[in-house]
A and B are shown apart, each in its own frame.
Chain A
Amino acid sequence: GAVVSQHPSRVICKSGTSVKIECRSLDFQATTMFWYRQFPKQSLMLMATSNEGSKATYEQGVEKDKFLINHASLTLSTLTVTSAHPEDSSFYICSARDVRGLGGYTFGSGTRLTVV
């Protein structure tokens, strides 16, 4: 089945620094990937849609300059949290759709970001 690899699984960074999270589709090509944010015991909140070779599409209320998304290849999307602050601490998840399948999306294992 389709596999999405997300790294790192956990990261702790100092306030004011930037953190990059990678999302890779291992056995399929993904022209579109999605980035979510999840708070404890809550649902997934879509942050942005990452499009290969073009600009990401951000959901309303998500700061584009804070959460930089790059989708440079058909198998890799990155989310960079710039000038991180403690309120950016959260669980971030990526997903991709394997168009060979029946419409389902595969998710990465998530990244727990802690900003101190």
Chain B
Amino acid sequence: AQTVTQSQPEMSVQEAETVTLSCTYDTSESDYYLFWYKQPPSRQMILVIRQEAYKQQNATENRFSVNFQKAAKSFSLKISDSQLGDAAMYFCAYLSREYGNKLVFGAGTILRVKS
């Protein structure tokens, strides 16, 4: 079964600085999707960024970018120019086609942004 590991329970970053959140996963599949979701205090799950496994190019969405290392099964999220509104719980997720298109979530990383 696929597993997703987020080894950082909590991270802190100074406003305007850059922070990287780690995520590793385990799978035997070759075709899959990876996601980062943000869950602010409102608890609404918000999609931050997605990556298709067959694409070698790392996905980027404004201040958010990923470092996707398929061979190493690593999928880290970099947040540049951190803002107070970035404070949230961040979940890394894996979408498995074999597993009925279900999302498998990591344990999450709480990101605190200091002003």
Contact indicator B103/A110 (Cβ below 8 Å): no
A91 CB contacts on chain B under 8 angstroms: 43
Expressed in whole angstroms, the Cα–Cα distance for A94 and B105 within the complex equals 14
Contact indicator A34/B103 (Cβ below 8 Å): yes
Interface hit among A18-26, A43-51, A65-73, A79-87: A43-51
B19 at the interface (CB under 8 A from A): no
Expressed in whole angstroms, the Cα–Cα distance for A82 and B47 within the complex equals 31
How many chain B residues sit at the interface, stated as a range, is 20 to 34
Secondary structure of the B side of the interface?
A: strand
Interface hit among B20-28, B62-70, B106-114: B106-114
Q: Knowing A44-B91, A91-B43, say if A34 contacts B102 (CB, 8 Å).
A: yes
List residues of chain B with CB under 8 Å of any chain A CB: 33, 35, 37, 42-45, 47, 50, 52, 89, 91, 95, 100-103, 105-108, 110
Q: List 10 A-B contacts (CB under 8 A).
A: A41-B89, A42-B108, A43-B107, A44-B91, A49-B102, A97-B101, A102-B50, A103-B33, A105-B47, A107-B44
